[in-house]
Amino acid sequence: MKLLITGASGFLGKYVVAEALRCGYQVRAAIRHTSNEKRLSWRNSDNLELIRINLTQSVGFEDALKDIDAVVHLAAAKQGNYDTQYANTVIATENLLRAMLELNVKRLVAISTFSVFDYLHIPNGGIINEDSPIESQPLDRDVYAQTKLIQESLFRDFEQKNRGEVTILRPGIVYGRNNLWNAHLGVNLKNRLWIRIGGNAQLPLTYVENCATAIVNACVRFEAIGKTLNIVDNDLPSSKVYADKIIKLLPRQPSTIGIDWTAMRLLSRSAWLFNNVLLFGKMKLPGILVPAKLEARFKPFRYSNENAQQILDWQPLYSLDQALKRSCSDVDLLSDAANKTGVAS
């Protein structure tokens, strides 16, 4: 099997390429023109072809998709203003899907996100699974959630209107080496002051190597076609447990202020109501004072990966403690994975 993997130089993309190579697949890894390929441990693998392409431009797709059996679409923008994220998430996806249609490439493993859920209207303590409601008021959420919602609709159109063989995967919070912090832990002010909100909410974590295995498994599982699957690990900690573990790994421990979840929720709703009723929405509130954004980060839920385990024949290999240990080890995990294929890295 030959895979095209977009976003191959990104945090998750690098591990997906390594896992695909470890499994013996041929990989065409698509990276930006500005990416530094010398930082990619697997760049010299025999089964790897590295290409540079600007997905926001409608050129270069014929070479990218030639002889490809399946596409893993990871490329998206997580930062920047609306125009930047729209271009790199929505327009890039439109261009890719159009080219796939023209070149008759049907199989797509599309990477979405937990950000698409309607957290404000899911009750406290509810289980979030594939049947949970999708955000109904995207303008109340951040740009990342807005553009990923549009992207998911493009994936579904490709499947329904063009008979695409689509699997949509929604990873939770992907963590690993140099990427242990996440916004669900609170507000981190220049690593000096950490405002921790709540603490009992379960975190929908997935260790990057576990997640990469699920993505590569999806490429070859016929049962996954037409499915939308949530990807989270088994032993999900509370935000307090996870925070206590990673704070021990920081070279300098920041000062910490704790805010009760119920109090923070009340403050957020009061500020939102005041702004909209008395100020007609003219004040730009910080994210933690916007209820839809606050609850997406801190509201306590439970999470299920039952469908992913069954359909993808997948079990997360590394536990939380094992994953943290690997994240802090001196071993180059990407290079190690590439070496297991019997090629130089």
Query: Smallest Cα–Cα separation from 155: which of 146, 165, 145?
Result: 165
Per-residue pLDDT 10s for the chain (345 aa) are 999 999 999 999 999 999 999 999 999 999 999 999 989 999 999 999 999 999 999 999 999 999 999 999 999 999 999 999 999 999 999 999 999 999 999 999 999 999 999 999 999 999 999 999 999 999 999 999 999 999 999 999 999 999 999 999 999 999 999 999 999 999 887 767 888 999 999 999 999 999 999 999 999 999 999 999 999 999 999 999 999 999 888 777 778 889 999 999 999 999 999 999 989 888 999 999 999 999 999 999 999 999 999 999 999 999 999 999 999 876 566 655 555 543 322
| Encoded tokens for 216 | 């590569």
C-alpha torsion 232→233→234→237, nearest 10: -90
Distance, in Å, from the CA atom of 22 to the CA atom of 317, rounded to the nearest integer, reads 15
Distance between CA 8 and CA 72 in Å, rounded? 9
* pTM of the predicted structure, to 2 decimals: 0.93
The rounded distance, in Å, linking the Cα atoms of 40 and 64 is 19
Question: CB of 76 within 8 A of CB of 88?
Answer: yes
Q: What ranges do the domains of the chain cover?
A: 2-177+203-237+301-339
Overall fold of domain 2-177+203-237+301-339: Rossmann fold (3.40.50)
| Rounded CA separation 2/28 (Å) | 7
What does the alpha-carbon distance between residue 251 and residue 86 come to, in Å, rounded to a whole number? 36
